[in-house]
Amino acid sequence: MLPAVALMLGLVFSGCSSAGDDGISRIPEQDLVYELPAEYQAIFAESDYIQPDDITGKVPTGHTLMDFYADFIYRDCLETTFNSVERSGARRLIYFNWASYRDQGTADTPPVFDYLGSRDAYGFRSATSAEIRAMAAEASARGLDFVLGLELNYDLAYLAGPGAGGWDWNEYRAFIDDFITFLNDTGDAVATASSEDFAYKYWDNWFSAYTAFVVEQAVIAEDAGISMLIIGKQLAGAVRDANADRWGDLITEVRAVYSGDIAYAGVVSGSMGGTLYHELEQFPVDDLDAAVIVPWAEIMDVDDPGIAGLKSAFEDFHDTTAEALTGSSTGTPSVPVIYLNPFMSCSGAPRQVWFEPADHSNPDISQDLLIQARMYEAFFQSVQGRGWIDEVWSWGFWWRNRGDTMYRYGDSSFSKASSVRNKPAVEIMKKWSDVE
């Protein structure tokens, strides 16, 4: 039976019909209780999987909702998604709300950050403050901690400019890549910039604008009783040693209006066989309450590794995390570390080569549910004895029961992406979770 608040909010969340306001067919969502297929039950009983009664170090888990949001999701998908998260054994439900640059800023004027508005009822948009509050209340009613994360898109001129109606995906990506290059180059330049140089002035303006934006979200988070606020994720150019004091000032202002935990989500890119880039290596981590690590690096250059090989690779990865945060591979970070794992359910998943699951059905990529489950099993085994690894979250928990569906059946490939919803990997996470 759903909690009383869930029943009440379900009236807002659902209300499925056969067609949308613009005539596009709508796919109603029905509640689905996932049952692990017998073939996976047999596999998970094998000796390389730790059995439930033998686990001595369970870990709090959470699921991060896919960072796609639209009117139809709020109307049709939230209640069933919350049901799935609640049944998964997770402690936390995490949502990253997208905003975007509306102006990149100059040495004299700060950039402009704003929410993404939808062009129609089915278009991508940011969640409103009222929707954030409703999601937080729903999570609380189900005994889940709600975490709000903030993330920026880089598509300012693409959405606002003359090409908005006609540019294709490749043009869109090229535009974003150029803008990110500008931000990274300006971020690198601030290390040697004087107070009269462009880079110094630019980042002063950037942090002035971004601090105001984050404080606004912090007020919403405080009002909604949200347990953790992630003040940024993968912010091109902004996380540099020379910006440490600027980040410290921002965090001080956030603490003035928000009493929950403050975190930053830093991406890790590169390859375990080559060079890794840890974004948080240049962040004043001591100012945070938690450090969120997003391991987008290549873990192994192997198609189908076993659990033992994956466990060893993850143990080496944890050493690089400790070194990035403390200067020593055997060091203990000053704040708890949370891993936000984007492990995919596709062929070659350990290489972690990103693809766009919402773009098309990706017919050249094959689904592999077992490799995703193996990666999570190996990961949980690898964190045993490392007390500074506090929680493990999944990334991209899809809003629908079917992972091949966004607007119509078969139009997308979240079934091959990082969502663990209704996949064997969710049972691995549930087994290791400290919430029964």
* Residue 269 parent element (H or E): strand 261-270
- Three-state SS at 79: helix
Cα–chain center distance at 185: 25
**Residue 12 confidence (pLDDT):** 36
Residue 134 sits at φ, ψ, to 5 deg, of -65, -40
Residue 118 confidence (pLDDT)? 66
Q: So what's the pLDDT on residue 13?
A: 35
Give the whole-angstrom CA distance, residue 36 versus residue 49: 15
Residue ranges per domain, the chain?
4-432
When mean pLDDT is compared across 11-20, 141-150, 190-199, the lowest value belongs to 11-20
Q: What is the pLDDT of residue 383?
A: 98
Over residues 324-338, the mean pLDDT reads: 98
pLDDT of residue 175: 77
How many Å apart are CA 84 and CA 423, to the nearest integer?
Answer: 11
Q: Output Rg (C-alpha) for the chain, integer angstroms.
A: 21
Give residue 119's pLDDT.
56
- Taking only the tens place, the pLDDT of each residue in 61-112 is 999 999 889 888 988 899 999 999 999 999 999 999 988 888 888 899 999 8
Strand 112-115 and strand 92-103: the pairing is antiparallel
**8 A C-beta contact, residue 399 and residue 335:** no
Predicted local distance difference test score (pLDDT) of residue 167 = 56
Average pLDDT, integer, range 28-49:
96
Average pLDDT over residues 307-336: 98
Give the separation between CA 171 and CA 174, rounded to whole angstroms.
5
32-41, 147-156, 239-248: which has the minimum mean pLDDT?
147-156
The single-letter DSSP state of residue 149 is E
SS3 129: helix
Residue (of 283, 279, 315, 284) closest to 294 by Cα position: 279
pLDDT digits over 347-398, tens only?
A: 999 999 998 898 777 888 999 999 999 999 999 999 999 999 999 999 999 9
Q: Are 95 and 127 in contact (CB under 8 A)?
A: yes
The torsion region of residue 50 among left (phi > 0), alpha (psi -120 to 50) and beta comes to beta
Is the pTM here over 0.85, yes or no?
Answer: yes
Determine the pLDDT at residue 4: 28
Average pLDDT over residues 266-278: 96
| pLDDT computed for residue 238 by the predictor | 98
pLDDT of residue 168: 62
The answer to whether the beta carbons of residues 114 and 99 sit under 8 Å apart is yes
Note whether 97 and 151 are within 8 A (CB): yes
Distances, alpha carbon 216 to alpha carbons 59, 181, 246, 254, in Å: 32, 28, 18, 9
To the nearest 10 degrees (0 to 180), the angle between helices 129-141 and 78-87 is 40
Q: Which two tokens stand for residue 266?
A: 């830093």
Q: What is the mean pLDDT of the chain?
A: 89
Give percent of the chain above pLDDT 90.
75
Any idea how long the chain is? 436
Considering the four listed CATH numbers 3.30.70.980, 3.20.20.80, 3.40.630.10, 3.30.70.100, the one that applies to the domain covering 4-432 is: 3.20.20.80
Cβ-based neighbour number of residue 206 at 10 Å: 24
CB 296 within 8 A of CB 342: yes
Q: What is the DSSP string of 246-266?
A: HHHHHHHHHHTT--SEEEEEE
Give the other-Cβ count within 10 Å of 87's Cβ.
15
Share of the chain above pLDDT 70, in %: 89
Q: For residue 78, what are its two tokens?
A: 């939230």
Q: DSSP strand E in 314-406: where?
A: 337-341, 389-397
Q: Cα(350)–Cα(287) distance, rounded to whole angstroms?
A: 32
One-letter identity of residue 28: P
How far apart CA 274 and CA 298 sit, in angstroms, is 9
DSSP-H helix ranges across 116-272 = 129-141, 156-160, 169-189, 198-224, 244-255
Q: How far apart are CA 288 and CA 431, in angstroms?
A: 30
How many other CB atoms are there within 10 angstroms of residue 16's CB atom? 13
Q: What is the pLDDT of residue 104?
A: 85
Q: What is the pLDDT of residues 160-215, one digit of tens each?
A: 444 445 556 677 777 788 889 999 999 999 999 999 999 999 999 999 999 999 99
Question: What pairing do the DSSP bridges indicate for beta strands 261-270 and 276-278?
Answer: antiparallel
Q: What is the pLDDT of residue 296?
A: 97
